Structure 1
Amino acid sequence: METVLRAASMYLLLMVVLKIAGRRTLLEMTSFDLILLLIISEATQQALLGNDFSVTGASLTIITLIVVDILFGMMKSRFPRVDRLIDGTAMILVEEGEVLSGRARRAGISIDDIMTAARSQGLERFDQIKFAILEKNGKISIIPVST
């Protein structure tokens, strides 16, 4: 039972921490982000398993994490408020070429992040962007101005 409680509590802790960190953490990873992810995964592994390195303990941990994930998925599909709380909603960052600075700052998105997404579509200036939208998955969608 201790293994199940450890797994469920670590799942919830990581969900809260990543929610607080914001969707910025879901964008393209830098080397710093990769290092941080590796350290977090090692610390999480130790917290999940404790001193139990048995196959049974690892299996029980994996099963618990999958069940908790499935339960959250079911809750999100049944209760829209839970979905918005966990995953958030899409957020407009640029509208008609104007950066909505407050929103970008709250989301932890820099102007460089927006321009990186714009350049991937061949856009070089904000006045070429009709909308830049931070999606629920952390990606930035760019809708160019029609020519």
Structure 2
Amino acid sequence: MDSVLRAVLIYLVLLVLFKIAGRRSLAELTTFDLVLLMVIGEATQQALLGNDFSLTNAVLVIVTLIVIDVGLSLLKLRSDGFSRLIDGGPTVIVEHGRLLRGRMRHARLVEADILEAARASQGLTSLEQIKFAVIERNGKISIIAYDEGAGP
């Protein structure tokens, strides 16, 4: 039973920490992020298993984590409020070529991030070509360009 309680506690702690870290940090892994995740994984393993490194205990912890994950995903399906609490929602960060700096600061984005997404997805080179930029729930930036000939 100790392993199940440890698994639940660690899952909830990691969920809160990654929620605080923000969506953008989960969108693309840098070398630093990969190393950090590996260290977190090792620390988590120690916290989850404690002194019991038996196969039975490891399977119990894994099953507990999967049950928690499936349970939360079912809750998110049934409750829009719970889904927004866990995953957040899309956030507009550029509106009609104008940066919404408060929202960008909250998402820890800079103008270069938005322009990079605009070039990669639409071939756009300036903010004036962007009708809307939205940071999605998964941390990716979606770009909506002005229609051809419509302009700002």
TM over 0.5: yes
Percent of matched pairs sharing the same residue: 55
Aligned runs of 1:19-38 on 2, under 5 Å? Answer: 19-38=19-38
Deviations 1:86-133 (A, max 9, x none): 000100011111110000111122222212211102111111111111
Aligned runs of 1:1-147 on 2, under 5 Å? Answer: 1-121=1-121, 122-147=123-148
Q: Which amino acid aligns with 2:132?
A: F
Work out the CA distance in 2 between the residues paired with 1:95 and 1:85. 25
Deviates more, 1:107-116 or 1:76-85: 107-116
Work out the CA distance in 2 between the residues paired with 1:123 and 1:49. 50
Gapped regions of structure 2 (runs ≥ 5): none
SS of residue in 1 equivalent to 2:51: coil
Work out the CA distance in 1 between the residues paired with 2:88 and 2:53. 36
Work out the CA distance in 2 between the residues paired with 1:10 and 1:111. 35
Work out the CA distance in 2 between the residues paired with 1:124 and 1:93. 17
Work out the CA distance in 2 between the residues paired with 1:58 and 1:45. 9
Work out the CA distance in 1 between the residues paired with 2:30 and 2:72. 29
Structure number with greater Rg is: 2
Tell me the CA shift for residue 33 of structure 1: 1.1
Gapped regions of structure 1 (runs ≥ 5): none
SS of residue in 1 equivalent to 2:89: coil
SS of residue in 1 equivalent to 2:139: coil
- Aligned residue pairs: how many? 147
Q: Which amino acid aligns with 1:131?
A: F
- Say whether the 8 Å CA contact 1:23–1:108 is kept in structure 2: no
Q: TM-score, normalised by structure 1?
A: 0.96
